[in-house]
Amino acid sequence: MKAWKRDPMFWRFAAYGFLKNLRLFEPFLILFFREQGLTFLQIGILYTVRELTTNLLDVPTGVLADTVGRRVTMVLSMLTYLLSFALFTLTSSFYPFALAMFLYGLGDALRSGTHKALILAYLKMRGWSHLKVEYYGGTRSWSQRGSAVNVLLAALLVFLTHTYRWVFALSSIPYVINLVNLATYPPALDRLVKRKRREGRLPILQIFSFLKSGDYVRVLLNSSVYMGLFRATKDYLQPVLKGLALALPVLLYLNGQERTALLVGIVYGVIYILNSIASENAYRLRDLLRKREGMAVNLTYAAGSLSVLLAGLTFHLSLKWLSVLMFLLLYLIQNVRRPITLAYISDTVPEDTVATALSVESSLRTLYAGLLAPVIGYLADTLGVGLALAMVGSFTLLLLPLVWVRDRVGSP
């Protein structure tokens, strides 16, 4: 076993990711909204509420994390999520859902970039900064294992209860456990940013300096556009699976919701198991390209955008199994890509402003996702889900020349 895998904090970080991804509602979120009578456009607006909330608050919460403490910010994030889950459980109409999505977006803003910054600070303390891709990829693999367990539990719950509502209430349990896990992280992880605050060096004043870096701006745009596409389209696998489940000439003794739950559980379970493997081995793509992280970022951007395009076209042509495979590829690319992108960003800005830099990235990606979500919803209502996905995938792919990332000086 590698030395860093024997490190106790590795397993605390991994536990955070595992528990965070036990969001039982996630594989059924669009189906839940449809069950409540919402149109795709209304669903898109709800996604926009979430994404724009995160967008507007991402940088302030990143600065908060870098000035008053990352552990405190993470605990606040868990509390906000719990309030959101309660609203989803107890209400059943558009406007309460919008408030719940606002709280969810606030939780994302508090969390986004902050835990990654904690990991990077810890690696620096241990003298392991050169292991960023391997270490973060390892913790992220446990997040994907959590997602695999999550979808199986969620599918079983829906199968047994014949409703999507209880998935929100039961998601609160792992989040309470995670709150305790985060609250008991070593205080030393906040020592660096607290020292910077005493010295009067606020990260917000350094944003403009690292925005002058061409490398950071390029990877900022590349990562944000791609992640916006991923966030806005990934859940459309759910109606694809529902259509496939209802068309399958098997298990006809089960009703439509039971068949959908069963297929969602199987497909998402496979996706997240493969995601875990992909994330843990992300460094292999970087090494295959002779550590050219910029090229890896560009190739995965192109492949992911093409996957969305093909997922839409194949669904429109009623080739539903091929559409599912394209979504599988999209998820795998995201989990290979993210550790490499994180390493590129963290090597481009000062260590004590990493949470702020990642929050700027997250803010831009949520803006793009927020703009895309209602567009996709409108197109899905008018042209169909397949053509909607194909159109946004094509558009994002056409943006690649504008967001091309170069390999940093010193790369092979």
Q: Say if CB 85 and CB 175 are below 8 A apart.
A: yes
Average pLDDT of span 109-114:
78
CATH of the domain at 75: 1.20.1250.20
| 3-state SS, residue 340 | helix
pLDDT for the residue 165: 82
1 falls within a domain:
no
Domain count, the chain: 1
pLDDT for the residue 198: 42
330 falls within a domain:
yes
pLDDT at 201 > cutoff 50? no
Residue 127 or 410, more confident: 127
Read off φ and ψ for residue 117, nearest 5 degrees: -65, -35
230 falls within a domain:
yes
**Alpha carbon distance 174, 106 (integer Å):** 19
**Alpha carbon distance 93, 126 (integer Å):** 49
342 falls within a domain:
yes
> The tokens of 351 are what?
């260590």
Radius of gyration in angstroms for the set of CA atoms belonging to the chain, rounded to a whole number: 20
Spatial neighbors of 117 by CB under 8 A, at least 6 apart, are 65, 66, 70, 354, 355, 358
pLDDT at 65 > cutoff 60? yes
411 falls within a domain:
no
410 falls within a domain:
no
- 341 is in which domain, residue-wise? 7-403
259: confidence class by pLDDT, cuts 50, 70, 90 = confident
412 falls within a domain:
no
254 φψ region: left (φ > 0), alpha (ψ -120 to 50), beta (else): beta
pLDDT at 302 > cutoff 90? yes
313: confidence class by pLDDT, cuts 50, 70, 90 = very high
pLDDT in tens, 318-343: 898 899 999 989 988 888 888 778 77
The packing angle between helices 237-247 and 256-280, to 10°, is: 130
| 3-state SS, residue 49 | helix
2 falls within a domain:
no
